[in-house]
């Protein structure tokens, strides 16, 4: 919540980590639009990165061309200090600014097929982490 102004939602969530009864395996952000999938970027310990990047070939048929080291998004960044692996789902950016923060930024402009492809990729990654660990 409040990503554009001060990221207060992510900061409050991170400040409550010690009191939550949750085991956080990894955090994933999808904030690049509902466009065709391209890959994932990841900020994590080397062994976690190696494990997740090994899933790329399994996700390739669904449009994941890379899993590489990189940024992980402002919404989950406060979790970095806890050593939680951070991932960001990346999409094709060709049409991003045709919609982003404009009058055209509405659900009726979402390409349903591209959105389904993206959710399939994210679901696939979650399944692989669940099955093979992190």
* pLDDT, tens digit only, all 134 positions of the chain: 556 666 777 777 777 787 877 888 899 987 777 778 999 999 999 999 999 999 999 999 989 999 999 877 788 888 888 889 999 998 887 766 566 667 777 777 777 888 899 999 999 999 999 999 88
In a domain, 99, yes or no: no
pTM of the model: 0.84
Name beta bridge partners: 41. 68, 88
Q: How far is residue 117's CA from residue 37's CA, in Å, rounded to a whole number?
A: 7
- How many whole angstroms separate alpha carbon 64 and alpha carbon 90? 9
Residue 16 maps to a domain: no
Distance CA 64, CA 36 (A): 10
Task: Count structural domains, the chain.
Answer: 1
**Is 2 contained in some domain?**
no
Range of the domain at 69: 24-94+105-132
């Amino acid at each position: 919540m409040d990503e554009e102004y001060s990221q207060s939602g992510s900061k409050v969530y991170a400040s409550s980590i010690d009191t939550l009864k949750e085991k956080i395996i990894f955090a994933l952000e999808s904030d690049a639009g509902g466009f065709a999938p391209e890959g994932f970027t990841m900020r994590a310990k080397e062994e976690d990165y190696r494990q997740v990047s090994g899933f790329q070939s399994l996700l390739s048929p669904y449009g994941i061309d890379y899993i590489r080291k990189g940024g992980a998004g402002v919404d989950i960044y406060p979790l970095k200090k806890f050593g939680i692996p951070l991932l960001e789902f990346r999409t094709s950016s060709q049409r991003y600014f045709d919609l982003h923060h404009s009058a055209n930024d509405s659900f009726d402009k979402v390409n349903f097929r591209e959105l389904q492809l993206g959710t399939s990729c994210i679901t696939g990654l979650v399944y692989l982490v669940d099955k093979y660990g992190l």
